[in-house]
């Protein structure tokens, strides 16, 4: 097992905009009509990766999560991606403990066998931007959903690690069932939802009423269905309801704001991922370091505003330990999260389900460790728990409960009371990782329930 002091708050996660243009023309996207099309030089990419690596290692964190982003990142070209892997291999020779993870967010239209084999061989997590069935999907090019769906089928056939990211809009009203069936039909097993503000005028992609109805109805299908599905937002709520920690920054009480930087092709760096191309940069990575940018008053001011906003608005909220105030980028000028109404309705609803789930676990209250299996294309939301008497039991993170006891000799048992938050990026991939998490809280939850 790797040794690292990385706890998620001391690592830089670069979101690298290898190009800032796209072959699609989505109306809500700032890159679709960007007149200043530019592409990152490989030297700039190299500088970013080396400096991020230096920063993380000097903070005791031998991990680096790289997100290839855009615009449409495949427009950067195949050779650059090959060179990126060569660079990473060189860094791993220099720092044998270093663990680099790659992810890419793409519209999926340019994928072909060569790309898919490359991403598969190099263990990329692939996120496809698609909002659901054709009628409610606004991420589409000249051929509509067709090419993207064909490529999703290829990813599935080749058993690649992939999921979709869907922007939820008012057009999703009444579409939760069809959205769920769309996932089943196309063999999609991992999904993240994006509901956000999308421009400097603080427009939101979806109203709270529509979002709440959509998520609740989708949750019912998810929870009652047999289909193996990882839903990023639901998994985060599950973990937090059970007293576990989640790596997703938007559920982390904004403690991780200031560790994610998007970097434009010319090296300009920004807090997180700004909504406007006109946002002034914090600095440029070609002439500065991550440490110097992290110390800048402009950034410290943003981080303070993020934390103060959450404290002010959420201080007395009954569900603040689950919600954490949501993403700072969805805060209105008064500091209130634009989706607060949805959170207040949805999270207690899910919590109720989780608590009834933990109650069902009467037979396993002695367990103290849980081992989430490595992601596999079909079974990644299964978890194997280890009971203190050495027996194991299968529990599914979607709430379904399988009391079948299984042999456990293939699985190591670690000492309790430790978290391995080694992979705590704000992405759907998070729940695909091996994680060791303390599970004593289940006992506490059960006891609380017994007393009530
Ligand atoms: S539900 Fe609203 S008030 Fe409560 S923690 Fe979340 S954003 Fe803050
Ligand atoms: S919580 Fe929001 S603003 Fe903060 S790092 Fe995450 S995505 Fe960015």
Per residue in 45-81, pLDDT tens? 999 999 999 999 999 888 899 999 989 999 999 999 9
Phi, psi of 439 (to 5 degrees): -125, 15
What is the model's pLDDT at position 231? 85
More confident: 78 or 32? 78
Ligand 2 in contact with 257 (CB < 6 A)? yes
Q: How far is the CA of 252 from the centre of ligand 2 (A)?
A: 9
pLDDT of 105 above 90: yes
**CA nearest neighbour of 138 among 126, 128, 129:** 129
Q: How far is the CA of 445 from the centre of ligand 1 (A)?
A: 22
Q: Which ligand is nearest to the CA of 339?
A: 1
User: What is the pLDDT confidence band of residue 299, given thresholds at 50, 70 and 90?
Assistant: very high
Q: What is the mean pLDDT of residues 193-200?
A: 80
DSSP 68-105: EESS-GGGG-HHHHHHHHHHHHHHHHHSTT-EEEEEEE
User: What is the pLDDT confidence band of residue 161, given thresholds at 50, 70 and 90?
Assistant: confident
What is the model's pLDDT at position 286? 98
**3-state secondary structure string, 382-449?**
EEEEECCCCCEEEEECCCCEEEEEECCCCCCCCCCCCCCCCCCCCCHHHHHCCEEEECHHHHHHHHHH
Q: How far is the CA of 7 from the centre of ligand 1 (A)?
A: 25
- Of 120-124, 247-251, 328-332, 404-408, the range with the highest mean pLDDT is 120-124
User: What is the pLDDT confidence band of residue 41, given thresholds at 50, 70 and 90?
Assistant: very high
DSSP 199-255: STT--BSS-HHHHHHHHHHHHHHHHH--S--EEHHHHHHHHHHTT-----GGGTTTT
For residue 326, the ligand 2 atom closest to its alpha carbon is 1
What is the model's pLDDT at position 155? 94
User: What is the pLDDT confidence band of residue 242, given thresholds at 50, 70 and 90?
Assistant: low
| 183 SS3 class | helix
For residue 344, the ligand 1 atom closest to its alpha carbon is 1
Q: What token pair was written down for 356?
A: 């009834």
More confident: 275 or 449? 275
Contacts of 251 (CB under 8 A, 6+ apart): 236, 237, 240, 322, 323, 324
Q: How far is the CA of 89 from the centre of ligand 1 (A)?
A: 43
pLDDT of 449 above 70: no
pLDDT of 114 above 70: yes
pLDDT of 423 above 50: no
Q: What is the mean pLDDT of residues 247-255?
A: 83
Q: How far is the CA of 234 from the centre of ligand 1 (A)?
A: 16
* 393-418: b (≥16 Cβ within 10 Å) or e: bbbebbbbeeeeeeebeeeeeeeeee
Give the percent of the chain with pLDDT over 70. 74
Ligand 2 in contact with 327 (CB < 6 A)? yes
The pTM for the full model equals 0.80
Q: How far is the CA of 392 from the centre of ligand 1 (A)?
A: 37
User: What is the pLDDT confidence band of residue 5, given thresholds at 50, 70 and 90?
Assistant: low
pLDDT of 434 above 50: no
Instruction: Report d(CA 433, CA 366) in Å as an integer.
Output: 25
For residue 259, the ligand 2 atom closest to its alpha carbon is 5
- Of 99-108, 230-239, 332-341, 354-363, the range with the highest mean pLDDT is 99-108
| 286 SS3 class | coil
Q: What is the mean pLDDT of residues 152-165?
A: 91
Per residue in 385-409, pLDDT tens? 433 333 333 333 333 233 333 222 2
pLDDT of 361 above 70: no
Q: How far is the CA of 247 from the centre of ligand 2 (A)?
A: 12
More confident: 130 or 198? 130
What is the model's pLDDT at position 371? 35
> In this predicted structure, which of 44-53, 152-161, 245-254, 266-275 has the lowest mean pLDDT?
245-254
Instruction: Report d(CA 402, CA 394) in Å as an integer.
Output: 6
Q: What is the mean pLDDT of residues 359-377?
A: 33
Q: What is the mean pLDDT of residues 174-190?
A: 94
User: What is the pLDDT confidence band of residue 6, given thresholds at 50, 70 and 90?
Assistant: low
| 372 SS3 class | strand
User: What is the pLDDT confidence band of residue 244, given thresholds at 50, 70 and 90?
Assistant: low
Q: How far is the CA of 409 from the centre of ligand 1 (A)?
A: 43
pLDDT of 378 above 90: no
pLDDT of 452 above 50: no
Ligand 2 in contact with 17 (CB < 6 A)? no
Q: Packing angle between helix 440-451 and helix 340-360, nearest 10 degrees?
A: 90
| Residue among 308, 327, 339 to mutate when testing ligand 2 (max atoms within 8 A of CB) | 327
Give the percent of the chain with pLDDT over 90. 44
What is the model's pLDDT at position 32? 72
Q: How far is the CA of 340 from the centre of ligand 1 (A)?
A: 5
Q: How far is the CA of 255 from the centre of ligand 2 (A)?
A: 9
| Residue among 195, 232, 249, 255 to mutate when testing ligand 2 (max atoms within 8 A of CB) | 249
* 142-161: b (≥16 Cβ within 10 Å) or e: eeebebbbebbebbeeeebb
Ligand 2 in contact with 303 (CB < 6 A)? no
Mean predicted lDDT score pLDDT of the chain? 76
pLDDT of 150 above 50: yes
User: What is the pLDDT confidence band of residue 132, given thresholds at 50, 70 and 90?
Assistant: very high
Q: Which residues form the pocket of ligand 1, taking CB atoms under 6 Å from any ligand atom? A: 313-314, 317, 319-320, 323, 325-326, 337, 340, 343-344
| Residue among 196, 317, 322, 349 to mutate when testing ligand 1 (max atoms within 8 A of CB) | 317
CA angle centred on 126, ends 123 and 129, rounded to 5°: 175
Q: Which ligand is nearest to the CA of 270?
A: 2
Q: How far is the CA of 342 from the centre of ligand 1 (A)?
A: 9
| Residue among 12, 15, 260 to mutate when testing ligand 2 (max atoms within 8 A of CB) | 260
Phi, psi of 365 (to 5 degrees): -65, -15
Instruction: Report d(CA 433, CA 420) in Å as an integer.
Output: 10
What is the model's pLDDT at position 347? 93
More confident: 33 or 396? 33
More confident: 351 or 162? 162
Give the helix, strand, coil percentages of the chain, each rounded to 5.
Answer: 40, 20, 45
What is the model's pLDDT at position 246? 73
Q: Which residue's CA lies nearest to atom 6 of ligand 1?
A: 325
Q: How far is the CA of 326 from the centre of ligand 1 (A)?
A: 7
CA angle centred on 214, ends 342 and 142, rounded to 5°: 120
pLDDT of 110 above 70: yes
For residue 271, the ligand 2 atom closest to its alpha carbon is 8
What is the model's pLDDT at position 31? 77
Contact 11, 425 (CB under 8 A): no
pLDDT of 421 above 60: no
Ligand 2 in contact with 328 (CB < 6 A)? yes
For residue 272, the ligand 2 atom closest to its alpha carbon is 8
């Amino acid at each position: 097992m790797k040794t690292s002091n990385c706890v998620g708050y001391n690592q830089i996660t670069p979101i690298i905009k290898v190009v800032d243009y796209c072959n699609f023309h989505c109306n809500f996207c700032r890159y679709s009509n960007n007149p200043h099309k530019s592409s990152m030089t490989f030297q700039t990419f190299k500088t970013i990766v080396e400096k991020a690596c230096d920063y993380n290692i000097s903070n005791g964190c031998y991990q680096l999560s790289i997100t290839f982003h855009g615009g449409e990142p495949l427009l950067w070209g195949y050779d650059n991606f090959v060179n990126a892997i060569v660079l990473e291999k060189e860094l791993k020779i220099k720092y044998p403990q270093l663990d680099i993870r790659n992810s890419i967010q793409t519209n999926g239209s340019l994928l072909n066998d060569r790309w898919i084999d490359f991403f598969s061989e190099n263990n990329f997590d692939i996120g496809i931007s698609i909002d659901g069935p054709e009628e409610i999907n606004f991420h589409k090019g000249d051929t509509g959903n067709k090419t993207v769906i064909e490529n999703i089928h290829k990813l599935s056939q080749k058993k690649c690690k992939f999921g979709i990211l869907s922007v939820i809009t008012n057009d999703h009203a009444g579409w939760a069932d069809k959205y769920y069936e769309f996932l089943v039909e196309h063999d999609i097993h991992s999904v993240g939802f994006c509901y956000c503000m999308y421009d400097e005028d603080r427009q939101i992609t979806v109203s709270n009423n529509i979002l709440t109805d959509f998520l609740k109805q989708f949750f019912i299908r998810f929870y009652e269905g047999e289909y193996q599905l990882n839903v990023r937002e639901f998994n985060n709520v599950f973990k937090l309801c059970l007293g576990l920690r989640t790596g997703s920054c938007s559920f982390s009480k904004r403690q991780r704001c200031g560790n994610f930087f998007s970097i434009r092709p010319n090296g300009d760096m920004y807090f997180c991922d700004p909504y406007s191309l006109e946002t002034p940069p914090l600095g440029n990575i070609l002439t500065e370091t991550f440490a110097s940018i992290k110390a800048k008053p402009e950034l410290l001011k943003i981080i303070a505003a993020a934390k103060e906003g959450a404290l002010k608005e959420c201080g007395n909220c009954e569900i603040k330990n689950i919600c954490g105030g949501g993403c700072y980028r969805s805060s209105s000028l008064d500091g209130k999260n634009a989706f607060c109404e949805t959170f207040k309705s949805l999270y207690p609803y899910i919590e109720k389900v989780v608590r009834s789930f933990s109650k069902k676990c009467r037979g396993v209250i002695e367990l103290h460790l849980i081992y989430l299996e490595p992601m596999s294309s079909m079974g990644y939301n299964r978890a194997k728990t280890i009971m203190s008497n050495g027996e194991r039991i299968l529990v599914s993170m979607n709430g379904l409960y399988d009391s079948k006891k299984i042999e456990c000799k293939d699985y190591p048992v670690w000492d309790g009371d430790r978290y391995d938050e080694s992979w705590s990026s704000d992405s759907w991939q998070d729940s695909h990782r091996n994680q060791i998490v303390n599970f004593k809280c289940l006992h506490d939850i059960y006891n609380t329930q017994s007393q009530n």
